[in-house]
Amino acid sequence: MRPLRALRWVAWTAFAAGILVAVVAVLTALPAYAQDAAQEPAYRAFPVIGSRLAVWAVAQLHLNFAAFILGVPIFAVIIEIIGWRTRDARYDWLSHELVKLTFAAFSTTALLGALLLFLFVGYYPKFWTYMTSIFFPTYWIYALLFFAETFTVYLWYYGWDWLSGSKKWIHVGLGVLSNLLGTSILVVANSWVTFMMSPAGITESGALKGSVWGAINNFTWMPINIHRLIANIVFGGTIAAAYAAFRFLNATTDEERARYDWMGYVGNFVALSAFIVLPFAGYWLGREIYAFNQTMGITMMGGFMSWLWIIQAILIGILFLGSNYYLWLGMERIPGSERYRKYVPYMLTILAIGFMVWATPHSLIVTLDEARAMGGTHHPFLGFFGVMSAKNTAVNLMILTTFLSYVLYRRANRLSIKPWVLTGMAIQWGAFFVAAAIVVFYGVYGYFVESIVRIGFSVYQVGAVLGAIALVMTIDVPMFRGARSTGAIRWGRIPARSQYVLILLAVTFTWLMGLMGFARSGIRQYWHVYGVMRDTSVDAVTPALGYAANVITIVTAVFFALVMFIFWLGGLSERGKAGAHGLPAPAISGGSEDDR
């Protein structure tokens, strides 16, 4: 098998190198191309579907796969570190299983990236010439980082057996290094995207002023770095959980079902942990957009895109409800969880009410007669729930409730033997109630202050929720260390509908990523670079939400068709074998403290 592995490594490396050579060749030709730009047309028309739709579809597919090859390795290295520290072979197997999935995604990402570059150069030459005049030094950094990450990931994967035992720390270091390189690629690419939203470091005529760092370090660069990094961790977890669900539904033995049930739980746990803090990164990004240009912020939240956030609210509500529902179904495989199931109806009520508030629009689409009957476009009752005070309150209470679901799941089959358990639980419940009270107080108080003051209240609400989460976990971990078990977790004994929930979460989050990408790009309206370079093409119109939703849906369907093919490839190599690529699949027995 080792010669075959070596051949595979050489083949994949040669492929990646070929892609990089092609990219570098194009980049090298760009300065000469820029000299003749005045004789070139500013735009060219892509056949049939138009240039904008072609770039949009390819760019979104490229971003989805880029999130795949960044998010899944981040998830994998976290899992490998857990296995290394706990000496649990299950986690090492799981990490190896996930890294295997990235290889086909790597090549697809590179191909889509090369295609996107050719589309920009060929169909938007004036725009690409301008971006090159600003960011040309970063192109070489991007190419070198991609080259370094490719080699590191292959060494990480194919050195799994070689760098085991006492050399495991070296192998873990390779995994960490590959993720640092991948994150660096993300950071470089984000500088191009955010410059188009919030240009900086340039003169009034649009020329670069000083070094390229001034253009990179713009208003929205760091918020998008943080937001996309967290989102990619969520994405990696949901993809891992969807892969586990795919394998669970096709399993033929109880052992396989147990293994992939556990894998799905771990993927969902990592995704849920990151998802809880993701809205806070979104608040920061929104605040920076307002700080850069209030008109852009008003367009995003109160202009023609306001109804987009209603769609976003529905999708995020599905993610919250789906994640909680999966945890509640998971309790059925845990002996002793019966004592906590009585809380489920109350948590469901909070989530449902929060969902309804978050999805309530401020202004309704009504006829003239309906508006007269209501006394205006704002409903006399529902209008109160259509503003950000109500929505921030709703989402923070939903986050607290989701965290409570996880805490109850975590202790479902454990009874603490610590003498201070009653005091600890009293403090924990107190933290929940105090955080909820702060969230509700500032949500109500926001109706009686000016908008500039109201915006600052979200900081207090977020701080209260994060503080409660930190305090509860600080108490919970030592309180249940060495706890008495009420029975082992029966992995694999979970309804099949739970696996469809995991697939639903992956599809929903991917669709949400596409929707937010449209929002980020759409608020520029008819500008390539906001306020600097205007889009004068025939496509210089922001699409309607219905059209955008259709495009995003088609791209998401194509992406998952390709992902399903990757999943199929992931299981193909295991047919007729006890283990995957020489790493035997471990038995999944009773649940331990580390399972949660």
- Tens digits of per-residue pLDDT, 203-234? 888 898 888 999 999 999 999 999 999 998 89
User: What CA dihedral angle connects 39, 43, 46 and 52, to 10 degrees?
Assistant: 160
What gap in Å lies between CA 207 and CA 375, rounded to an integer?
Answer: 52
Higher pLDDT, 303 or 416: 416
The pLDDT of residue 70 is 87
pLDDT at 404 over 90: yes
487 CB-contact burial (10 Å; exposed 0-12 / middle 13-18 / buried 19+): middle
* pLDDT tens per residue across span 473-484: 999 989 988 888
Contacts of 6 (CB under 8 A, 6+ apart): none
The pLDDT of residue 437 is 95
Kindly report the CA angle at 233 between 228 and 237, in degrees rounded to 5?
140
pLDDT at 409 over 80: yes
The pLDDT of residue 115 is 92
* Per-residue tokens: 474: 């600080």
Evaluate whether 588 touches 266 at the Cβ level (below 8 Å).
no
- % the chain with pLDDT above 70: 84
The pLDDT of residue 570 is 62
Least confident of 22-36, 39-53, 144-158: 22-36
CA distances from 389 to 384, 462, 564 (A): 9, 13, 41
| Nearest Cα to Cα of residue 596 among 343, 421, 314, 334 | 334
The predicted model gives 451-464 an average pLDDT of 79
Evaluate whether 91 touches 172 at the Cβ level (below 8 Å).
no
pTM for the model stands at 0.83
Mean pLDDT of the chain: 83
Q: 3-state SS string over 331-396?
A: HHHCCCHHHHHHHHHHHHHHHHHHHHHHCCCCCCCCCHHHHHHHCCCCCCCHHHHHCHHHHHHHHH
CA distances from 229 to 273, 289, 371 (A): 13, 18, 44
What gap in Å lies between CA 586 and CA 79, rounded to an integer?
Answer: 15
The pLDDT of residue 573 is 59
Among the ranges 3-12, 63-72, 220-229, which has the highest mean pLDDT value?
220-229
Residue 574's pLDDT band, with cuts at 50, 70 and 90, is low
The predicted model gives 46-54 an average pLDDT of 89
Residue 322's pLDDT band, with cuts at 50, 70 and 90, is very high
Residue 6's pLDDT band, with cuts at 50, 70 and 90, is very low
pLDDT at 14 over 60: no
Residue 429's pLDDT band, with cuts at 50, 70 and 90, is very high
Least confident of 308-312, 539-543, 573-577: 573-577
pLDDT at 355 over 70: yes
The predicted model gives 72-89 an average pLDDT of 86
pLDDT at 378 over 70: no
pLDDT at 589 over 70: no
